[in-house]
Amino acid sequence: MSLESAEVPTLDPDQVLVRVAAVGVCGSDVHYYEHGRVGPYVVEHPLILGHELSGTVAAVGTAVDPGRVGERVAVEPQRPCRTCAQCKAGRYNLCPDMEFFATPPINGAFAEFVAIQSDFAHPIPDSVSDEAAALMEPLSVGIWACQRAGIGPGSRVLIAGAGPIGVIAAQTARAFGAGEVYITDVSDERRAFALEHGASHALDPRVDQVEGLEVDAFIDASGVEQAVHSGIKAVRPAGRAILVGLGNDDIMLPVSYLQNREIWLSGVFRYANTWPLAIELVAGGKVDLDALISGRFPLAQAEDALNAGKRPGQMKAIVYPGR
């Protein structure tokens, strides 16, 4: 990694210029840093990382209300085409021409300024911190997963992995009305943290059995093949299994179990139309994102932030491009 100067982005008529306040470090950022790729997305040229961000509107394009200058915003870090079949169906997260921050070749937010379409710069209330506003992005992943899992009042849910996404999914499930939220992780510390932030039961997959729990929904936030296999076998007939975690491209699945119980299996690819709900959940105290922050780094120490997750007790690192 290197720290370099770059031109301030020029604005299209429908864009705003955001002075970046805080950026969360995502697992995909770490994958790009360590492996140079995430699935089919390969780093072939220098790339600015970071896609979980908040900031303040510093300037606006000619088609945007100039009154937005000075507004604090949480940025939805993507630019769909808005005209393809997926976009028109409301599934703009599946747009084949999507430009997503920090996904090659699109630069991300480890920078002082970024440009984004004005409707993807979502205003946030004063009660929401810059850090929590940046973490609306992983919260959106949790919201999208819980929506696809059909979680509602009284649901029983199993989540594999008590990292940031797992804990956020647990909090979101409870906010959606889930009655019981089981979470699994091999880390004693992460299980204890999850119990304080959304989970009602925390299990050690090395010793605790999850198969046969008969939950309504299973969300994998681990990417571990055995966790996926066991989690699917914990789902009741006609329940749902949702894959969020980044793991191997190909894994073995209990196909006969899926067939015989008519379990609905789906992946999660980003999100669509989630920011308003995310902001409402945080502003209303239903989800606590500030509690996840375990490290703070100026831009010059962004590489340390990418390595922070290797240390025990780390949950979410924040980079501050203005420092």
Residue 9 covered by a domain: no
Q: Are 189 and 167 in contact (CB under 8 A)?
A: no
Same domain, residue pair 21 and 128: yes
CA angle 18, 126, 313 (to 5 degrees): 80
Q: Are 74 and 136 in contact (CB under 8 A)?
A: yes
Same domain, residue pair 150 and 243: yes
Closest CA to 128 of 289, 276, 294: 289
Residue 274 covered by a domain: no
Same domain, residue pair 146 and 250: yes
Residue 275 covered by a domain: no
> Using the 8-state DSSP alphabet, how is residue 111 labeled?
S
Same domain, residue pair 161 and 237: yes
Query: Residue 144 is part of a domain; what is its CATH number?
Result: 3.40.50.720
Q: How far apart, in whole angstroms, are the C-alpha atoms of residue 80 and residue 83?
A: 8
Same domain, residue pair 144 and 130: no
Q: Give pLDDT tens digits for 174-192.
A: 999 999 999 999 999 999 9
Q: Among 237, 267, 297, which residue terminates a domain?
A: 267
DSSP per position, 197-264: TT-SEEE-TTT---TT--EEEEEE-S--HHHHHHHHTTEEEEEEEEE-S---SS----HHHHHHTT-E
Residue 226 covered by a domain: yes
**What pLDDT was estimated at residue 296?**
97
pLDDT at 314 over 90: no
Instruction: State the pLDDT confidence band at 238, using cuts at 50, 70 and 90.
Output: very high
Q: Give pLDDT tens digits for 86-133.
A: 999 999 999 999 999 999 999 999 999 999 999 999 999 999 999 999
**What pLDDT was estimated at residue 77?**
98
Domain that holds residue 146: 140-267
Same domain, residue pair 54 and 107: yes
Same domain, residue pair 238 and 261: yes
Same domain, residue pair 246 and 229: yes
Residues with Cβ < 8 Å from 275, sequence gap 6 or more?
Answer: 74, 76, 120, 122, 136, 140
Closest CA to 25 of 141, 130, 121, 164: 164
**What pLDDT was estimated at residue 118?**
98
Q: Give pLDDT tens digits for 33-42.
A: 999 998 889 9
Give the alpha-carbon dihedral of 184, 190, 279, 156, to 10 degrees. Answer: 20
Closest CA to 247 of 307, 161, 137, 135: 161
Same domain, residue pair 72 and 156: no
Q: How far apart, in whole angstroms, are the C-alpha atoms of residue 287 and residue 167?
A: 10
Same domain, residue pair 305 and 218: no
Q: Counting beta carbons within 10 angstroms of the beta carbon of residue 261, is it exposed (0 to 12), middle (13 to 18) or buried (19 or more)?
A: middle
Instruction: Give, rounded to a whole angstrom, the gap between the first and last alpha carbons of the chain.
Output: 17
CA 250 to chain centre: 22
Residue 182 covered by a domain: yes
Residue 316 covered by a domain: yes
Q: Would strands 156-160 and 316-320 be described as parallel, antiparallel, or unpaired? A: unpaired
Domain count, the chain: 2
Q: Would strands 293-298 and 37-38 be described as parallel, antiparallel, or unpaired? A: unpaired
Alpha-carbon Rg for the chain in angstroms: 19
Residue 108 covered by a domain: yes
Q: How far apart, in whole angstroms, are the C-alpha atoms of residue 108 and residue 26?
A: 12
Instruction: Report which secondary-structure segment, H or E, holds 160.
Output: strand 156-160
Same domain, residue pair 149 and 242: yes
Q: Please state the pTM of the whole predicted model.
A: 0.96
Same domain, residue pair 122 and 228: no
Instruction: State the pLDDT confidence band at 311, using cuts at 50, 70 and 90.
Output: confident
**Residue range 201-213: mean pLDDT, rounded:** 97
Residue 186 covered by a domain: yes
Place of tokens 């079949």: 85
Query: Residue 129 is part of a domain; what is its CATH number?
Result: 3.90.180.10
* Helix 164-175 with 188-196: angle, nearest 10 deg: 20
